Structure 1
Amino acid sequence: MSPYQINQSEKFRCPWCLGFEEYIKYHDEEWGVPVYSDKVHFEFLVLESAQAGLSWSTILKKREGYRNAFAQFDYKQVADFPDSMVQELMQDSGIIRNKMKIEAAINNARRFMEIQANVGSFTSYIWDFVGGKPIHSNIKSIGEAPATTPESDNLAKDLKSKGFKFLGSTTIYAHMQATGLVNDHLQQCFRHQEVKRMIK
């Protein structure tokens, strides 16, 4: 039997992840884990931006396609993509073929590197918006989770001022949840306490 079987009585999980095994694995191993790697932050910025207007499960199923299309999420290579690459990626069925989102990913790679040049790392830049440590919520149902917060508003506004695209406050809050700036696992979820103990 798979270790990611859907059985809430044995191991309670946030209900949003119960659609398919890959989704459960993502919830159990990645979602909410504090990220201190610039490359991983860039990966999630690309994926979260692509999600706009879609479900995360849709993007998760195309994650490998994005990895292949965007140079294994090497932001330096993506920043050097020529204009012709946009049309090439528009033919790639492994990703969401939305021209504005593809252009945003390339643009954001360039802006990402500008932050690195000015601050030293994107990681230190983004963690400053939560005071350098994760915010642990105590929500008991999915409906209690906010779509945005003052922190995501401030971060999205700052990113926009730096030229980032397709990264509004809702998208940025999803990024914060995914990369552990915020621990939004439900209080009764087995991962809530596990993630809470992950302090750098």
Structure 2
Amino acid sequence: MSVATKPQSAAKQMHEPPRAILGPTGNRVRVLEEAKRKIEFLKKSQQKPRKPVEKMSQAAVKNNLSVDSTCSSDSSGSSISGRNVKRNGIKQVKDVTNGGEIKDVLLKKEGPVKRCDWITPNSDPLYMSFHDEEWGVPVHDDRKLFELLVFSQALAELSWPAILHMRDIFRKLFDNFDSSSVAQFTEKKLLSLKVNGNLLLSEPKLRAIVENAKQMLKIQQEFDSFSNYCWRFVNQKPLRNGFRYVRQVPVKTPKAELISKDLMQRGFRCVGPTVVYSFMQVAGIVNDHLVACFRYQECNVDLKKDFKPRSEETERVTKALGNTCVSHD
């Protein structure tokens, strides 16, 4: 009997490890903890290969480059192909920051904007801004036209940068270029227009400005505005010369000579053809930006958008100006 019991105890010991695993004892808790640790270890091991992919995705975001759907969750839901297309120096890329939006990116760095040749990198910033925002833009406000006419007259004594730096002084001394106010300036008031103890302009030029203000009031009564009078000479539409080189830009033209003659017949002073043509340029009556300048096309666009002539008023002004020219001849 004792011999028979020994094989049974041996068999019982062989089956004890499996029973210990399945039994409701503390061994089961330890086994579960080991299983959890193995699962966590497997999760961590699966996440490690994804770290380089995340770095790649961040680099792609910074460069606005498209990445494969397996590399970024942002691009995985997009149906747009991430293939780059090159044309005319432009590269199409997928912006993963905007849900896979395709953007055009210049392959080369954009150079400085092209301006008229008389504007250089060393030009006065105020003068450069004046070129970019005002010079050549059509003007129809009488006060602004009077201001630009005065500045064109002042070019005989001052440069554009100097005038622009003194612009606020000009506006203050000339009552914001209100022609009705300037027309009433007395001799004493005229001689008080000084800067640092010196007259703003020479006495003949100052007297001419006051006299021109008086004549502007007459033109406003006849044509309703000085703008109507000025724009009548170009049929209410700016002239576009399309010059390529600075040497082609004239200092005066037959049209400027015609306007100058009519102004002088009306009593205006210091309005020779050169002054009148400078006025036409700055007031946008003629677009003399060089063709290569970015402002050449922009001024043309501004014209189409902003300039809306009134046909009835144009006919009336044309008739009045025609009668006046006949009487002066």
Q: Report the TM-score when normalising by structure 2.
A: 0.56
Instruction: Identify which range, 96-105 or 126-135, moves more after superposition.
Output: 96-105
Matches within 5 A, 1:113-128: 113-128=217-232
Q: Structure 1 residue 171 and structure 2 residue 275: aligned?
A: yes
Aligned pairs, number:
192
Shift of 1:58: 2.3
Instruction: Identify which range, 22-31 or 74-83, moves more after superposition.
Output: 74-83
Measured in 2, the distance between the counterparts of 1:99 and 1:149 equals 28
Alignment partner, residue 92 of structure 1: 195
Measured in 2, the distance between the counterparts of 1:58 and 1:15 equals 19
| Residue from 67, 76, 80 that aligns with 2:180 | 76
Shift of 1:95: 6.3
Measured in 2, the distance between the counterparts of 1:88 and 1:69 equals 9
Shift of 1:56: 2.2
Measured in 2, the distance between the counterparts of 1:53 and 1:129 equals 28
Alignment partner, residue 15 of structure 1: 117
- Whether the 8 Å CA contact 2:157–2:201 is kept in 1: the answer is no
Measured in 2, the distance between the counterparts of 1:95 and 1:20 equals 24
Q: Structure 1 residue 38 and structure 2 residue 142: aligned?
A: yes
- Whether the 8 Å CA contact 1:62–1:95 is kept in 2: the answer is no
Alignment partner, residue 197 of structure 1: 301
Q: With CA pairs under 8 Å and 6+ residues apart, which has the higher RCO, 1 or 2?
A: 1
| Residue from 85, 104, 111 that aligns with 2:208 | 104
Measured in 2, the distance between the counterparts of 1:72 and 1:64 equals 9
Measured in 2, the distance between the counterparts of 1:108 and 1:170 equals 17
Alignment partner, residue 3 of structure 1: none
Compared CA separation, residues 120 and 145, structure 1 to 2 (3 A): same
Percentage of pairs with the same residue: 38
- Whether the 8 Å CA contact 2:241–2:286 is kept in 1: the answer is yes
Structure with the higher strand share, 1 or 2: 2
Measured in 2, the distance between the counterparts of 1:158 and 1:41 equals 17
- Runs of at least 5 residues in structure 2 that lack an aligned partner in the other structure: 1-109, 308-329
- Whether the 8 Å CA contact 1:108–1:165 is kept in 2: the answer is yes
Q: Report the TM-score when normalising by structure 1.
A: 0.91
Instruction: Identify which range, 180-189 or 58-67, moves more after superposition.
Output: 58-67
- Whether the 8 Å CA contact 2:192–2:199 is kept in 1: the answer is no
For 2:262, give the aligned amino acid. D
Instruction: Identify which range, 45-54 or 165-174, moves more after superposition.
Output: 45-54
Compared CA separation, residues 189 and 66, structure 1 to 2 (3 A): same
| Residue from 236, 241, 254 that aligns with 1:137 | 241
Alignment partner, residue 4 of structure 1: none
Shift of 1:61: 2.1
- Runs of at least 5 residues in structure 1 that lack an aligned partner in the other structure: 1-7
For 1:104, give the aligned amino acid. A
For 2:117, give the aligned amino acid. P
Shift of 1:178: 0.3
SS in structure 2 opposite 1:167?
A: coil
Instruction: Please tell me the root mean square deviation across aligned C-alpha atoms, in Å.
Output: 1.6
- Whether the 8 Å CA contact 2:257–2:273 is kept in 1: the answer is yes
Instruction: Identify which range, 16-25 or 186-195, moves more after superposition.
Output: 16-25
